[in-house]
Amino acid sequence: MSDDKLGLGVASNRTGAAEVAAGIGDVGDLMVYAYAMEAEAAERYAEFADAMETHNNLEVAELFRKLSRIEHIHAQQIVESMNWNEPPPPPPGGFRWLGLEGPESGDHADLHYLMQPYHALQIALSNEQGAQLFYAAVAREASDEKVRAGAAEMAAEEEEHVSLIQQWLERTAKPEPGWSRDDDPPMLGD
Ligand code: ZN
């Protein structure tokens, strides 16, 4: 669980924002990005839930499952609002994110088999912050006025997600020191 992850994200955000925005020429492009972000996040949370289930960490598995459902609904809402018959293909040349992948997706390296809901929510928080930064960068840098306006709206929405997760974190028990110590460690090669 690296606390500096977001800091690094901000740094790469500064260097890549103009290039990212250049790939988003109209509102249709913006929605393709938005869809990809939500869909990738939904998929990633589902993978996290599977991983936690494998380690019998059912409480966190359920939390990731819930987050996956939320992102899936977001993705479906975009498909419906755009009247797409099916999810859009990636733009020619592929997506240009600020990092290597969609900013709303967590990193497998952040998982720990003994992690607690609090940790899972920290991942979610950093994902929502990443999404907010992405849209804010597009709102700032895009050449098309409607893209800038749409991205600003979505940045505001992501900011709401950020505060929702922050409230959720406040209601969630903080892990005790030593939370990652296993009193009954799995067998090697397990
Ligand atoms: Zn969000």
CA of 128 to the centre of ligand 1 (A): 5
CA of 130 to the centre of ligand 1 (A): 9
CA of 73 to the centre of ligand 1 (A): 11
- DSSP per-residue letters across 26-80: SHHHHHHHHHHHHHHHHHHHHHHHHHHHHTT-HHHHHHHHHHHHHHHHHHHHHHH
Mean pLDDT by 10 residues, the chain (190 residues): 41 60 89 92 91 90 93 93 89 74 73 88 90 92 95 94 91 89 68
**Domain 3-170 homologous superfamily, CATH:** Ferritin, core subunit, four-helix bundle (1.20.1260.10)
Q: How many CA atoms lie within 13 A of 109 on its CB side?
A: 4
Query: What residue segments make up the domains of the chain, in order of their start?
Result: 3-170
pLDDT of residue 102: 67
pLDDT of residue 4: 41
CA of 189 to the centre of ligand 1 (A): 37
CA of 134 to the centre of ligand 1 (A): 11
CA of 13 to the centre of ligand 1 (A): 17
Say if CB 68 and CB 104 are below 8 A apart: no
CA of 5 to the centre of ligand 1 (A): 18
- What are the pLDDT digits (tens) for 125-169? 998 898 999 999 999 999 999 999 999 999 999 999 899 999 989
pLDDT of residue 3: 41
pLDDT of residue 183: 76
Cα torsion through 77, 83, 89, 92, rounded to 10: -120
Say if CB 159 and CB 45 are below 8 A apart: no
Q: Give this prediction's pTM.
A: 0.79
CA of 25 to the centre of ligand 1 (A): 22
Q: Which residue has 């901000």 as its token pair?
A: 10
Residues listed for the chain: 190
